[in-house]
Amino acid sequence: MQYYSLHKKAPKVSFSEAVVRGLAPDKGLYFPETITPLPDSFFENIENSDKVEIGYQTIKQFVGNEIPEADLKEILKDVLSFDFPVVDITENIGTLELFHGPTMAFKDVGARFMARCLGYFNRNNENKVTVLVATSGDTGGAVAQGFLGVKGVDVVILYPSGKVSDIQERQLTTLGQNITALEVDGVFDDCQDMVKKAFLDHSITDHMQLTSANSINIARWLPQLFYFVFAYKQLKTKGKEIVFSVPSGNFGNICAGIVANKLGLPVKHFVASTNVNDTVVRFMETEKYEPKASKATISNAMDVGNPSNFIRIQQLFDNNFTSLKDQFSAFSFDDDSTKEAMKEIYEKSNYIADPHGAVGYLGLKNYDLKNDEYGVFLETAHPVKFLDIVEDTLDLSVEIPPQIQKVMGKEKVSIKTNDYSKLKEFLLS
């Protein structure tokens, strides 16, 4: 498998090169040269396959022969060591829980897969790789936990000060070892811009190997397709067409779902559900892509004004707006609507949804499901990650799971910065 830059001004590279580079030299995102559909028999007989086999069959063409089958399956066995259940909310709506991993967020799978791949590629290499990543919430903790103690890898995480939840902040600032957190005076887009600038700064890259663990990195992005296939396996017996509603910030998760669809996964429609950061929603209305500064919301992991992965989604539909609109919709919801949705979900089913899941639920309601359709909204993080909002909105107490308890008493350690020069100084030191 070869990967090319979507800017088409850089040489094609292998999977390992794309993982290590993160971003192409021409600033473009890497994209697989081909996506070959799996045989129909794979989906027809999917109930006979376990998580590791499903993961292997769906990801192997993207990895190619760079990781042998036995090693790749061992990586997947480690990465997929927890469950991804679909829980019924109403007769025709369910939620796919993606928070049963070590940091209780959907990004655990991508972060762990990338960490294991990078560790495999770096196993005989004495040169260090620095993973540089921006986070709007859960990415930081998942990357920190996924890469903790990985040989030959240092991790530098940029996060916007005061704009991630207390638990999210603890998960990325309390681990130590090879993990460093930089607290940025700004919003997520400022963090992401600083990361992109560092990748293009030869005075840095000539002296050290940088890679990204944001969803711009193919090893972080592509494994997210597993979720959608796992959901299909559980829902196949319902005999209904599936509509996925994905809470979307940087649009990596829903983009991976569309890749699963290109592999042959039967999906009727994809709904991108966003908060007030509505760049893609406006694009779907006007066909004009006009990013704007992000706004802070209670669903902070989606506070992204210029989502990196939307260009990949457009490429998956051959940049054909009509084809895109046929299978993809986008809706935007404010904080008040999100809180009302959290209350509605709880009143209907006694289910506690976090703000991001609630936005996904609203997306399904806006889509207006038909009788022969079953809607799945992705619950991307455990409600405890947004403890104050959930407890205040629903007037209840949320039990603290063991994964979260272990970081609650630890001391936060971060380096405060407010501009790119401070980041550069830190990296070069």
pLDDT digits (tens, 9 = 90+) for 101-132: 988 889 899 989 998 998 888 777 777 889 89
Residue 136 scores a pLDDT above 90: no
Distance CA 223, CA 116 (A): 12
What's the token pair of residue 174?
């309390």
Distance CA 341, CA 358 (A): 6
Considering Cα of 13, then 15, then 19, then 20, what sign does the dihedral take? negative
Q: Model confidence at 286, in pLDDT bands (50, 70, 90)? A: very high
Residue 21 scores a pLDDT above 90: no
Q: What percent of the chain has pLDDT over 90?
A: 67
The predicted structure's pLDDT at residue 187 = 86
Phi-psi region of 82 (alpha: psi -120 to 50; beta: other; left: phi over 0): beta
Task: Note the pLDDT tens digit of each residue in 288-315.
Answer: 999 998 898 999 889 999 999 999 999 9
Grouping H, G, I as helix, E, B as strand and the rest as coil, residue 38 is coil
Beta bridge partners of 179: 155
Total residues found in the chain within this entry = 429
Residues 6+ apart with CB under 8 A from 285: none
Distance CA 275, CA 292 (A): 14
- Average pLDDT score over the chain: 92
Residue 333 scores a pLDDT above 80: yes
Domain locations in the chain as residue ranges: 83-103+221-399
Which residue in 60, 77, 107, 406 is the catalytic one?
Answer: 107
Q: Model confidence at 144, in pLDDT bands (50, 70, 90)? A: confident
The predicted structure's pLDDT at residue 231 = 98
Across the range 69-73, mean pLDDT stands at: 97
The predicted structure's pLDDT at residue 168 = 84
Distance CA 340, CA 379 (A): 16
The domain defined by 83-103+221-399 folds into Rossmann fold (3.40.50)
CA distances, 56 to each of 223, 225, 236, 258 (Å): 10, 12, 20, 18
Distance CA 83, CA 99 (A): 9
The predicted structure's pLDDT at residue 377 = 98
* First CA to last CA distance, the chain: 36
The predicted structure's pLDDT at residue 196 = 84
Residues 6+ apart with CB under 8 A from 400: 384, 408
The predicted structure's pLDDT at residue 266 = 97
Count the neighbouring beta carbons within 10 Å of the beta carbon of residue 285.
10
The predicted structure's pLDDT at residue 150 = 82
The predicted structure's pLDDT at residue 236 = 95
For 59-98, give one letter per residue: b (16+ CB within 10 A) or e.
Answer: bbebbeebbeeeebbebbeebbeeebebeebeebbbbbbb
Active site residue 107: yes
The predicted structure's pLDDT at residue 418 = 85
For 168-199, give one letter per residue: b (16+ CB within 10 A) or e.
Answer: bbbbbbbbeebbbbbbbebbbbbbbbbbbebb
Distance CA 332, CA 417 (A): 32
The predicted structure's pLDDT at residue 59 = 98
Residue 212 scores a pLDDT above 90: no
- 144 — phi, psi (to 5°)? -60, -50
Across the range 68-73, mean pLDDT stands at: 97
